[in-house]
Amino acid sequence: MSYNPGLLFYKHYYEGIQFGNKDALVEKKNERKFKTRNDLLLATRFLPNTLPAIGKVPELLAFPLTTTYPGLILGTGYAHGSGLQGEFKTGFYFDHTTGMPRIPGSSVKGLLRSTFPGLFYEKAKNKDVETEQFWKKLGDNRAKFIASIIQALGYDLGKDPDPILRLEREIFEGMHGDNREKHDHHFAMRDRDVFFDALITASADGQIFSDEYITPHKKPLKNPIPIQILKVRPGVTFTFSFKLKPDYQIERDGNTETQPRMLTPAQRLELFRQILMFLGAGAKTNSGFGHFEADKQVDLSGRNPTPPSAGAGEKPVQPGQPAATSPAQKKYPSLLYDRKLSGNKELVGELLRREGENGWFRLLNVANFDKEVKVSHALMPDLAIGAHYLLSAGRVVPANNVLEVKIINFKPQ
């Protein structure tokens, strides 16, 4: 890609176009120019080097979702289109720097919050009886939806008088109380969750865009005129990224106390994934656009909400944590400890012990290396002792017996 699709779409798209001239020859010339620019947009290919270094963000948690047929429509509310034949009629959302499509983090946050009941209960207040019942019913349905997911993730709804609204305030308002007017009912900004833009990280065929025609029926018994729009094609993978905090701090009687969040970062991440899988994103989701599929489906129904007992001095496995896999259940690729190991993403480590966010692993498939390796991550408290996890090799110095790794798959192998 030697051009910026967003720059082409919003600036260079109308250069040389003649407006206000109804001459048939002029209209044909305009159409040919639009076709050339449309073809250039549709030929845009995904290039990994357009991505920022999001993997270096501390505590970043992410999951990929891939668009399904008919694709994804973004930014239809942006101004675009002049009424001429051959042009894309609706707007589209592009990243300002790279020109690549992305889903804004604010849109992701708003979409996720729309599945919670709080805003619907607010609309039910101070209304007539019929309107109040309507909004309350919508809120109740959303509360049941969220409750079904977090129960499957291992959260005990019985221990909290109003868990869904409390969870909504925690995630989207940064609150641990129910009074917005009280300063001490709010988290500090450092303790709040962060919603990043969803970026394209892969494409099944290397391409990103397709065109689409929608046919509005404005007047009965009159032939409708199809409208040409731009969309993200099926088979394009977006990675949704978040910075999710495990706890928050509050001031009480002059002392600072650290309190755990209702759901662990891993549980919140899976909650967000389930919502996006169910609702989709972007425009015209009721017509099938904006829906996603995942590479691996997560079976929530098989999770055990009761933590198994742990050995002396060990932390119990978190609710919903899969059981450890024995070495006999899987054969791992055999790797040699040398400088070529750097960058390899097939290292498998057994978690021996952990202290807070630090964990120590024994490598199962690396020959000539018998030291324990230390990994630090915000999700370390959620991992199961004795389970096997996929690791990636970083700095390798055989002369000094040094091997640095990071964990890349938090599900037991």
pLDDT digits (tens, 9 = 90+) for 364-387: 999 888 899 999 877 788 788 988
Q: What is the pLDDT of residue 214?
A: 85
Q: What is the pLDDT of residue 356?
A: 84
Give pLDDT tens digits for 68-82: 999 999 988 888 888
Separation CA 193–CA 175 (nearest Å): 11
The torsion angles phi and psi of 138, rounded to 5 degrees, stand at -60, -40
308: closest CA among 409, 390, 391, 387? 387
Local confidence band at 363 (pLDDT 50, 70, 90 cut-offs) = very high
Separation CA 410–CA 388 (nearest Å): 9
Q: What is the pLDDT of residue 307?
A: 36
Domains present along the chain, CATH in parentheses: 1-303 (no CATH), 327-409 (2.40.50.140)
CA angle (198 as vertex; 195, 204 as ends), nearest 5: 155
Residue at 23: amino acid letter: D
Average pLDDT, whole number, for the chain? 83
State both tokens at 291: 């829906």
Give pLDDT tens digits for 39-70: 999 989 887 766 666 556 667 899 999 999 99
Q: What is the pLDDT of residue 114?
A: 94
Report the first-to-last Cα separation within the chain, whole angstroms: 38
Q: What is the pLDDT of residue 325?
A: 43
CA angle (71 as vertex; 168, 240 as ends), nearest 5: 40
Averaged pLDDT for residues 317-346: 64
Q: What is the pLDDT of residue 406?
A: 87
The predicted model scores a pTM of 0.69
Asked if residue 254 has pLDDT above 70, the reply is yes
203 near 46, Cβ under 8 Å? yes
Burial-class residue 241 by CB neighbours within 10 Å (0-12, 13-18, 19+).
buried
Q: What is the pLDDT of residue 380?
A: 82
State both tokens at 92: 């589209």
Share of the chain above pLDDT 90, in %: 44
User: What long-range pairs does 218-226 form, CB within 8 A, spacing at least 24?
Assistant: none
Asked if residue 329 has pLDDT above 60, the reply is no
For residue 384, the Cα-to-chain-centroid distance in whole angstroms is: 24
For residue 236, the Cα-to-chain-centroid distance in whole angstroms is: 14
Averaged pLDDT for residues 210-228: 81
Q: What is the pLDDT of residue 229?
A: 93
DSSP-assigned beta bridge partners for residue 63: 240
91: closest CA among 214, 189, 216, 230? 230
Q: What is the pLDDT of residue 150?
A: 93
Coil, strand or helix: which one is 228? strand
Separation CA 382–CA 307 (nearest Å): 12
Peptide bond before residue 322 is cis, with ω within 30 degrees of 0: no
Q: What is the pLDDT of residue 41?
A: 92
Asked if residue 137 has pLDDT above 60, the reply is yes
Alpha helices in 125-256 (DSSP H): 129-152, 163-168
294 near 240, Cβ under 8 Å? no
**183 or 402, greater pLDDT:** 402
Coil, strand or helix: which one is 406? strand
